[in-house]
Amino acid sequence: MIENTKAIVINTIKYGDTSLISTCYTKNCGIKTYMLKGILKSKKSKIKSAYFQPLMQLNLTANHNNKGALNSIRDIEIDHFYNSIYTNIKKQTIALFLAEILYYAIKEEEQNQSLYEYLETSFLWLDTHDNVSNFHLLFLLNLTKFLGFYPEMNLPNSNYFDLIEGNFTNINNFNSVSGENLVQFKKLLGINFDVLHKIDFSAENRQTILFILIQYFELHLSGFKKPKSLNVLKSVFS
């Protein structure tokens, strides 16, 4: 089936000497993987390898096959040109990290326009703002809304947050967040990107909250893996 859709690049690997395989999150069809034959060899092709950088936002005309099969792209154009994501080291590192997160977290080949719009607007915010040191933390927390395990807010003044149950409680379990870590974690709850600069995370706080969020994803998503770029992210923001 020929489909016109917006798409966000989340993973690209080399296939052979001349081709790429790229996985994108599409607005109309969820996760789709494309075979880009000869893209590294042909200089005249309208489809360029530069289009498939992490989090690039595209408009595609694609031939979508049955579930699980590789698809092909007939036509392509950039939907939004980023001004700084690929030139600013912090933003570039965040983009690589979040692309890996999305690759491991989203598997569905179904339309979810609210999730797509969240990704689209979030990455445009990242591109157009300077104070982004906490961006990935709030992005991950808010992503859980669309994945089905955002923290329940029934008892927010409790002494513990249970990572398995996803709720606040006064019962201390093995996977509970408590004490100062809980105080820092709560700073992200219920806020939007425009007030991120007001959160006074230290580098140590930031790494601790990131560890909690990664653990939260691991507990709730089957097959989720820690991104390889995690150590690079920690290094850049330490």
Domain with CATH 2.40.50.140 in the chain: 2-80
Domain 2-80 has CATH 2.40.50.140: yes
Is residue 52's pLDDT more than 80? Answer: yes
Average predicted confidence (pLDDT) for the chain: 94
d(CA 116, CA 113): 5
Q: Is the pLDDT confidence value at 54 over 90?
A: yes
What is the average pLDDT across 89-110?
Answer: 96
Tokens of 47: 């489809």
Range(s) of the chain covered by CATH 1.20.1440.120: 89-236
**pLDDT tier for residue 32 given thresholds of 50, 70 and 90:** very high
Between strands 72-80 and 160-162, the pairing is unpaired
> Which CATH number among 3.30.565.10, 1.20.1440.120, 3.30.56.10, 3.30.450.20 corresponds to the domain 89-236?
1.20.1440.120
- For the chain, where are the E strands, in sequence order? 2-15, 19-26, 30-36, 57-63, 72-80, 160-162, 167-169, 176-178
Summarised one tens digit per residue, pLDDT across range 56-69 is 999 999 999 877 77
44 Cα distance to chain centroid: 32
